[in-house]
Structure 1
Amino acid sequence: MTDAMWMRGVEWLAAASCDPRNCKRDWDQGDGIALLEAGRYWDVLSVPDELGLLTLDLLWSPSLPLPGPTLADGTAHRVGFFLPPDPGSRWVGAGLRHASRGAWVAVPPPYRPAGLMEWLVPPDGSGTLHAPTALEVALRQAHGTLAVLQPPDAG
């Protein structure tokens, strides 16, 4: 990613803040994480990390557009997919969390990790997000793969 793309990514992401200047200051000082409101420029679908990493791998297909911004939270063991805001969207499934209008998301800067949070696919400033349909198909496929790989309960 070029320096210009990093800068556009910073500006694009900081625009979701109530105070973009303060957001960028939070990224450069303190713990390097800013709280940004979902639902205006993007929503975030957060999934368990094993499911999220396999889903992202499936989205790196030559037949699909490049994946949108994707964030890994090593503390919570989750992966967040940034997708277009859709207040009527209902993502249903075990372990899925949909952050939309009124929800806040902890976000490191696009140019470096902060603690155990890092971008797997940083925003490039173009506004590209995950396509909900492609994400849903990849999640279903990843979930099916994981179900086959899980050992049966020793119950």
Structure 2
Amino acid sequence: MNGAKTAIEWLASAAPDPEACRREWERNPLGVTLLPAGSAWDVLILPGELGYTTLDVLTRFLGRPGPVLVDFGDARMGFLVPPGTAARWLGTGIRTAGSGTWIVVPHPGRSSPGGVRWLVPPDGSGTLTDPALLELAMHEAAAGPAAGNDR
């Protein structure tokens, strides 16, 4: 199975009706569908500027974090994390989507100009970003470059 097809299957498995989810992706001209958070993943939603810097930090340490979404105009970035994270998250200024919430999810194999899109698409393996590592990366990103460090 190719990567996009595997990712589609993994994402659709979170839907109450996976087949309806796949049909919605194919029929919706924006290539998006709504999926429930809280069973296969939660989402931590960071302001865009902090999100991009955090993603840079994570990528330096991990190579490839779990799936990451970005919304219209890059105002907010959503990191997919293990289920249950949203209920325990205490970070100020970070929104969460967990059990009882739904998120807009783009088709992993197509791009939607100007809409919600994947910065790091799911690979279908179920890999998610570790929330402890995400928190550390956010702290580093918020602190900015160390004094005297001219990267």
TM-score relative to the length of structure 1: 0.85
1:13-92 matches, within 5 Å, as 13-30=11-28, 31-61=30-60, 63-64=61-62, 66-75=64-73, 77-86=75-84, 88-92=87-91
State the aligned residue count: 143
In structure 1, distance between residues paired with 2:95 and 2:84: 14
More displaced stretch, 107-116 vs 96-105? 107-116
The match for 2:9 is: 11
The match for 1:110 is: 108
Structure number with the higher helix fraction is 2
The match for 1:153 is: none
Q: Post-superposition shift, 1:112?
A: 1.5
Structure 2: state its 5+ residue gaps: none
Structure 1: state its 5+ residue gaps: 149-155
In structure 2, distance between residues paired with 1:145 and 1:93: 18
Q: Which amino acid aligns with 1:11?
A: E
Q: Which runs of 4+ in 1 moved over 4 A?
A: none
The match for 1:152 is: none
1:112–1:91 CA distance, 2 compared to 1 (3 A): farther
TM-score relative to the length of structure 2: 0.87
User: Does the 8 A contact of 1:9 with 1:110 survive in 2?
Assistant: yes
Q: Percent identity?
A: 44
Q: Post-superposition shift, 1:48?
A: 0.8
In structure 1, distance between residues paired with 2:100 and 2:49: 27
Q: Which amino acid aligns with 1:110?
A: P
The match for 2:129 is: 130
The match for 1:151 is: none
CA RMSD of aligned residues (A): 1.9
Q: Post-superposition shift, 1:65?
A: 5.6
